[in-house]
Amino acid sequence: MASLGTTTATIAKRQPETVALRAAFAELRHHVPAHPSDRKMSKLEILRAAIRYISILEYCLGMRQTPIGVKLHKE
């Protein structure tokens, strides 16, 4: 079992990493279009939205035949 001092030291060491990770997710959320502004997105939702967005961009550039998670309407 870890002593209280070790636990506090570990938390203090990891805190800057946690703050940086939260900031990175916040920035990524703002770059993904059509994100719901009325509610908080989970980290998983942010990552999935970013993957879909990148896939759509690849499709637009002709690098992908169909975008991930997007159904195309055939006319």
pLDDT tops 90 at residue 71: no
The model's confidence at residue 25, banded by pLDDT at 50, 70 and 90, is: very high
Q: Where are the domains of the chain?
A: 4-60
Cα angle 26, 23, 53 (rounded to 5 degrees) comes to 35
The whole-number pLDDT of residue 7 equals: 78
The whole-number pLDDT of residue 16 equals: 86
Give me the CATH topology for the region 4-60.
MYOD Basic-Helix-Loop-Helix Domain, subunit B (4.10.280)
3-state helix, strand, coil in the chain (%, to 5): 60, 0, 40
